Structure 1
Amino acid sequence: MKFGKEFESQMVQEWQKAYMDYNGLKTVLKDILRFKQGNASTPESSTARGSLKRRMSLYRAFSGLNNRYRNSPRKNDDEVILVDEVQQDGSELGPYQTTFLKPCEIGGECEPVFFRRLDDEFNKVISFYKGKVEEMIEEANELSKQMDALIALRMKVHNPMMKFDKAALEKLTSNSSTGTKSGSMHMNVIQEVEMSGERHMDDEIQETVETSGVHKRGKVVSIQGFRPASLEVLDHVKLNITPETPVSTLKKILTSDVALSFTKKELRKAEERMIQAFIEFYRKLQLLKRYCFLNLLAFSKIMKKYDKIASRKASKTYMELVENSYLGSSDEVSKLMERVEVTFIERFANGNHRKGLKILRPKTKREKHRITFSLGFFSGCSLAFVAAIVVLVHARGILRSQGRDRYMENIFPLYTLFGFIVLHMLMYSANIFFWRHYRVNYSFIFGFKQGTELGYREVFLLSSGLAVLAFACVISNLDMEMDPGGSIFRVLTELVPLGLLTVVILITICPLNIIYRSSRFFLLRCAFRCLCAPLYKVTLPDFFLADQLTSQVPAIRSLQFYVCYYGWGYFRKNSNNGCRGSDVYQAFYFIVAIIPYWSRLIQCLRRLVEEKDVMHGLNGLKYFSIVVALVMKTGNELKMGMMTWKIMAIVSSAVATIFATYWDLVIDWGLLRRNSINPWLRDKLLVPNRGVYVVAMVMNVLLRLAWMQSVLGLTETPVLHRQALIAIVACLEIIRRGIWNFFRLENEHLNNVGKYRAFKSVPLPFNYDNDEDRDD
């Protein structure tokens, strides 16, 4: 792989504008090469250039110019560039500026342009790197204060009767040094105040940074490291616990901060928060270190290309500057990484080096061959089952049999649930494939734990496996239905779909570490938070999943049919007339369809209250219009023939469709920009072919009009049964949602890129009093 592609693949995508523009500099080098080749093709120009070079060499030899510039920064006659750091008005040194010492040779004006562009990129990289290092140092200082509070809390929890003063600390330390035995209760406290293994590291960091320094407003910022806890720190902190349960959310409304009560539960929560904060901070340092390394390598590569194309020897001079600059000589990030490793291993891994580094450095997920083989096997089996079902239906004339309507009304809705789930998983698998292809950081956006996110192969494997189970049950059900002696097995025949649903539910909630437990539990947590809205703080995975559920209304209604068909015992009679005619069933037919949209409405209202953004209120109004349209459309389905319901369904559905379509294209996708450099699209596009966006917008509009089949009375055709038509319309909505997923996340990714957001914010466990900060 060429370096340009490797360089792009290794970038932190949210920082891509802060990296050196390697491709842009390569374009300038190509201009130099074309100029050189054009001049080389002219004999007169090459002869004149050679004679001019000889005359200049003789002139320098006999004019004494060599002696005049012997003490200048220019080392010899082959020197091509001179790089200086510009002095600003203040005490700080400004950006680097390169002087090209041989103008109008070989490359013409392209070479000075190249070095001006190179200086701009180098100064941009240094400025960004300095800013990020300063942010890391400030965050390290904050983590140091948090560790002080955590260590003090540990000491208090282990020994509640202990008084926090310096005399107690000195007494404990002296007892520890003389070997005095204080009892089992005091041992944990003594271990907390012993910091001998860390003090040496703190001194080393302090000495190193003082010699190198971080220029910030003319001062040197030193890294203090994570120091021993002050015993009075608990008098100035309060516990900061983000609401995690509905009960804690209600308590949050009454009290803004939680006072420390020195319980083990508080300690455990604080430790969990600190572990997450350390892991995320260490990941930031890793990415920043990789940013530094990749840019150093890119500058080296581009200068070697320049030397080769222009036949110069400028790379050594420029790379000496790069290596001596802040980008190449600073080691604050490496020292901070060492500090974090030492502290984390000692404080959170009981000194187990391997365990601590395993938590801090999760291994990259590897693609396994057995996954590829398994998904191929299950996909082949699914196709074979589809062919078998088609042959059975055609050979036995099931479509022309008397039990056709009964099967379509009773059994077919039970199996469509699995069809909807499989199709949604296939669309999600395709989304992941294209997100990875276009380098959308979906793992960071969704907040997946590093190394546990599912790839498109894993999702495809799960969907194909579920499809195999569903098709196998369909074939077994058909065999038992068509068997002449099938009346004996009628109850067993009716229970096949319920058995499949039970297997799927048990796998989903299985606590064993099988079948991607981390992803299953992540899905269950998000689903629970959606159901409990607005008692949880709304995050992107929560409202993204709620949006997916709005496209699975037919699947939710299938679950309702499962409850009625099996719970009320209608499966024994092989009839659902009791369900369809029940007032309770019809009432819940309204309610279950509204639940996903109501959940999104409540989420929007909570975000409106918390973030004070009017756009969330407008988004909530959009979902309210959809709720109204859904009620009217459902009423029209249940009250067939009533013109009033039909008119209300048409009007409300039209308003909701226009509102939702505009929101999809303009807000969620960021398209239809009038003044964009891409006509009616965004300024920044990940897909090179603009026609893809046009086709997606048209398909979004057309697929949103699928509701017309119900309000216009197209509930059944001579070819398709009513249940089959409902399933097809539901599948079209799932396909529309899959298309929406890609462009919604693309827009979110581009927003993160525009704001350089590459990390998630981890709430810290303690809040320090503002009075103390003001006194300091």
Structure 2
Amino acid sequence: MKFGKEFASQMVPEWQEAYMNYNYLKTLLKEILIFKQRQTRSNKVNPPKSSSPSKVASLRRRVSLFRAFSGLTSRYGHNSPKKDKEDEVILVSAMHQSDEEEQSEDSHSNYQTIFLRSSEEGGEFELVFFRGLDYEFNKVNQFYRNKVEEVKKHAEELNMQMDAFIALRIKVNHPNAVSPFVNDTKKGSYPMEVIHEESQEKNLEDDRKDYKIASLEVLDNIKINTTTTSPRSTIKSLFHMLRSDLHYNKKELKDAQEKLKRAFIEFHEKLRYLKNYAFLNQLAFSKIMKKYDKITSRNASDAYLQMVEESYLSHSDEVTKLLERVESAFVKHFCNGNRHQGMDMLRPKAKKDGHWVTFFVGCFFGCSLALIVAIVLTIHARNIFKSPLRDQYMNTLFPLYSLFGFLVLHMLMYAGNVYYWMRYRINYSFIIGFKPGTELGYKEVLLLSSGLSVLTLAAVLSNLEMDMDQRTQTYKALTELVPVGLLIAVLLITICPFDIFYRTTRFFLLVCLWHCICAPFYTVTLPDFFLGDQLTSQVQLFRDLQFYVCYYGWGDFKKRDAGTCENSEVYKTIFIVIAVIPYWIRLLQCIRRLCEGRDSTQALNALKYFSIIVAVVARTIYSQRQGMTMKIIAAATSGFATIFATYWDIVMDWGLLCRNSENPWLRDKLILPNRSIYFIAMVLNVLLRLAWMQTVMDFTDAPFLHRKAMIALVASLEIIRRGIWNFFRLENEHLNNVGKFRAVKSVPLPFSYEDGNKVL
């Protein structure tokens, strides 16, 4: 792999604009190369007449006779020979900022390269190259300096947090302790060295010189940070019962330890990003200067790389020292000295792509195609479509199995999203909030979807065979239990506590689902409302689940009769409520975010979901009772909700339709290379949003397609629309993170000062 591609693949996606623009500098070098090639061809056609090559060589030999004698023995030692003035190509100098505040010992410097051969033919191309090179280096050096200052401040915050944590640990484990505390056990006293502690290679005697006996006085000035992250804490906060005073109990100690552990892990990840950032950019400057020397046949890389070596980017060692101290502190205070366990938590191993996943994906997709062909042949051979039992099949079996079809389609769309997120380096695992190394790649998602597809199609085929076979007529009830058996199997696999079938991802999904169900009692995070948006596109799936409950609970499934459910007024009422639930969840999430003061636009977002709820209720009532009045109400409410939701999708969620942007009617930054894709996506979003018209315009009664099949088709179009929405929604979120250089999570810290104005 070429260095340019390797360089791009190892960038922190959110910091990509802060890296050296390697491709741009390569473009400048290419212009120099083109000029050199043209000059060479011109010299071959019209060779200079002033002097022949032999005369030039003779002149060079004659001039060399007057140079200083270099000696017969090597006198260079460890120092390289100094270049002659005539061999110098560039001079690099540091230009200090003009502000008086910056004129200090640690003042920031911008480096400027003076090109000494600009008067030569084609020198203007090389001059442009060095100006671009200086700009890129100063950008990289300044970004690195700023980030180092950030992590140093963060380290001080963690130091004070750990002071409070260790004091709380002492108070909980030794309630009668007083300050200064000295433990009489063999373990000795609690040191307060934390981030400032030296590495473990120092001997114990030198290490103890830096020890500071833990002081309990710090507990007098702090309070516990109370965050309403659970239903219980939310209810307490409503009644002003949520206290922030320390009670010195083990629960507080455990909560503080978990928060600090997450904070250390995120801080360590940021330090690793910084260390890798410095290394990659140094390597990139080395590569680009070697290319310059090769193209121009000069020797400028030594002088420039010497400046790079002496700059803050290369010379600073704060990040390396902080990494060592963070690892030492984490292992000591959170892993009981078990370094192997600590490093596994701080540096999770990269996920390996197993070939068995690819094999089974191909195998399952092949089996799915074979089962589809078998089902089509069975239906055709037994002429089921023209059978008088056609409506009975479509009203009972079709809704039971279409539920799995919706799941498979949604997973296929998600697999496509993951593939393109990975291709265009959208950090979806960080945005959604997956634990590093546990996120599913597109192959794993395809494996799950194809596996579920095989199970569903096999159940459909077996159901058809058992239903048509005379030998199984006595097992009619057993035949009807095949769909519910498949549903129970899928649910059991989803909630299975054992470490199989991607347990971490399943647990993450269940936690987010629980947060959605309990809205607004949980703090709303991006994975919670992202899952809520997915649920709004699976309304028909929830209605199919309702049909499962009614069909096997109150309906006469042994006779394959769904009339008991469809003719019940209670069923029709629940049919409306079921469709409202996903939108109601999103409405409550928007209200929670609005009350927390995170985003004032959530009021409009809540209004959007309320308008959709009104439209869904109106359409459902019209489909059940008909009537011109309800038709007008359904069309009016649906039209308003569609316009509102479409505007929100394109402008707010996708960040498009910016009139004065660099890309007209899109946004300043785009990830996809072809701008027409964005316009196509906007048009598709509008068209697919109009799928509700099939209900108002009575398209469900089309003669060429059964009503249940038409409903499933429209539901599938909404799932496809949601899949398209997912890509551009996370693209916009990723670009927002890039604009703020936000590459790690912001973890809430456990302690704060008593006045609440400053975090420890």
TM over 0.5: yes
Q: Which amino acid aligns with 1:151?
A: I
Please list the CA deviations of residues 124-175 of structure 1 after superposition, one character each: whole Å capped at 9, or x if unmatched. 1110000000100111111111111111111112122222x12x33xx3xx5
Match of 2:681 among 671, 696, 702: 696
- Following superposition, the deviation at residue 555 of structure 1 comes to 0.0
Alignment of 1:137 with 2:152, yes or no, is yes
* Map 1:264-663 → 2, pairs under 5 A: 264-611=250-597, 613-640=599-626, 642-663=627-648
Are the counterparts in 2 of residues 147 and 226 from structure 1 also a CA contact under 8 Å? Answer: no
The equivalent residue for 1:192 is: 190
Please list the CA deviations of residues 661-711 of structure 1 after superposition, one character each: whole Å capped at 9, or x if unmatched. 111111111222222222322222211112212221111111111111111
Secondary structure, in 3 states, of the residue corresponding to 1:614? coil
The equivalent residue for 1:123 is: 138
- Following superposition, the deviation at residue 475 of structure 1 comes to 1.0
Q: Which amino acid aligns with 2:432?
A: F
Matches of 1:406 and 1:576, distance apart in 2? 8
Q: Which amino acid aligns with 2:114?
A: T
- Following superposition, the deviation at residue 400 of structure 1 comes to 1.3
CA RMSD of aligned residues (A): 2.8
The equivalent residue for 2:699 is: 714
Matches of 1:723 and 1:546, distance apart in 2? 26
Pair 103,225 (structure 1): closer, same or farther in 2 beyond 3 Å: farther
Matches of 1:772 and 1:639, distance apart in 2? 59
Matches of 1:108 and 1:197, distance apart in 2? 51
Secondary structure, in 3 states, of the residue corresponding to 2:233? helix
Matches of 1:600 and 1:579, distance apart in 2? 29
The equivalent residue for 1:247 is: 232
The equivalent residue for 2:740 is: 755
Matches of 1:482 and 1:274, distance apart in 2? 63
Are the counterparts in 1 of residues 408 and 452 from structure 2 also a CA contact under 8 Å? Answer: yes
Q: 5+ residue gaps in structure 2?
A: 70-81, 203-208
Alignment of 1:31 with 2:31, yes or no, is yes
- Following superposition, the deviation at residue 104 of structure 1 comes to 2.4
- Following superposition, the deviation at residue 196 of structure 1 comes to 11
Are the counterparts in 2 of residues 20 and 295 from structure 1 also a CA contact under 8 Å? Answer: yes
Secondary structure, in 3 states, of the residue corresponding to 1:42? helix
Secondary structure, in 3 states, of the residue corresponding to 1:762? coil
Are the counterparts in 2 of residues 150 and 270 from structure 1 also a CA contact under 8 Å? Answer: yes
- Following superposition, the deviation at residue 17 of structure 1 comes to 0.9
Pair 256,130 (structure 1): closer, same or farther in 2 beyond 3 Å: farther
Percent identity over the alignment is 56
Deviates more, 1:282-291 or 1:105-114: 105-114
- Following superposition, the deviation at residue 503 of structure 1 comes to 0.5
Q: 5+ residue gaps in structure 1?
A: 67-72, 176-181, 205-223
Q: Figure out how many residues of one structure are paired with residues of the other and give that number.
A: 732
- Following superposition, the deviation at residue 718 of structure 1 comes to 2.4
Matches of 2:738 and 2:758, distance apart in 1? 33
Q: Which amino acid aligns with 2:158?
A: L
- Following superposition, the deviation at residue 731 of structure 1 comes to 0.6
- Following superposition, the deviation at residue 572 of structure 1 comes to 3.1
Matches of 1:697 and 1:476, distance apart in 2? 42
Deviates more, 1:415-424 or 1:607-616: 607-616
Are the counterparts in 2 of residues 543 and 600 from structure 1 also a CA contact under 8 Å? Answer: yes
Q: Which amino acid aligns with 1:40?
A: T
* Map 1:660-679 → 2, pairs under 5 A: 660-679=645-664
Matches of 2:401 and 2:170, distance apart in 1? 58
Matches of 1:743 and 1:93, distance apart in 2? 39
Pair 50,675 (structure 1): closer, same or farther in 2 beyond 3 Å: farther
- Following superposition, the deviation at residue 235 of structure 1 comes to 1.5
Pair 46,391 (structure 1): closer, same or farther in 2 beyond 3 Å: farther
Secondary structure, in 3 states, of the residue corresponding to 1:77? helix
Matches of 1:113 and 1:53, distance apart in 2? 31
Matches of 1:773 and 1:688, distance apart in 2? 45
Match of 1:156 among 151, 156, 171: 171
- Following superposition, the deviation at residue 237 of structure 1 comes to 1.6
Are the counterparts in 2 of residues 526 and 541 from structure 1 also a CA contact under 8 Å? Answer: yes
Are the counterparts in 2 of residues 107 and 310 from structure 1 also a CA contact under 8 Å? Answer: no
- Following superposition, the deviation at residue 720 of structure 1 comes to 1.4
- Following superposition, the deviation at residue 30 of structure 1 comes to 1.1
The equivalent residue for 1:80 is: 89
Matches of 1:282 and 1:714, distance apart in 2? 58
Are the counterparts in 2 of residues 97 and 119 from structure 1 also a CA contact under 8 Å? Answer: yes
Q: Which amino acid aligns with 2:613?
A: V
- Following superposition, the deviation at residue 292 of structure 1 comes to 0.3
The equivalent residue for 1:234 is: 219
The equivalent residue for 1:179 is: none
Secondary structure, in 3 states, of the residue corresponding to 1:99? strand
Deviates more, 1:48-57 or 1:580-589: 48-57
Q: Which amino acid aligns with 1:498?
A: V
- Following superposition, the deviation at residue 230 of structure 1 comes to 2.7
Alignment of 1:726 with 2:728, yes or no, is no
Please list the CA deviations of residues 418-459 of structure 1 after superposition, one character each: whole Å capped at 9, or x if unmatched. 110010001000100010011110011011100000000111
TM-score norm. by structure 1 comes to: 0.90
Matches of 1:203 and 1:704, distance apart in 2? 64
Are the counterparts in 1 of residues 590 and 605 from structure 2 also a CA contact under 8 Å? Answer: yes
Secondary structure, in 3 states, of the residue corresponding to 2:216? coil
Pair 396,226 (structure 1): closer, same or farther in 2 beyond 3 Å: farther
- Following superposition, the deviation at residue 38 of structure 1 comes to 2.1
Are the counterparts in 2 of residues 657 and 704 from structure 1 also a CA contact under 8 Å? Answer: yes
The equivalent residue for 2:669 is: 684
Pair 535,446 (structure 1): closer, same or farther in 2 beyond 3 Å: same
Matches of 2:242 and 2:285, distance apart in 1? 51
Please list the CA deviations of residues 239-259 of structure 1 after superposition, one character each: whole Å capped at 9, or x if unmatched. 124333201112234256521
Are the counterparts in 2 of residues 79 and 101 from structure 1 also a CA contact under 8 Å? Answer: yes
Deviates more, 1:299-308 or 1:54-63: 54-63
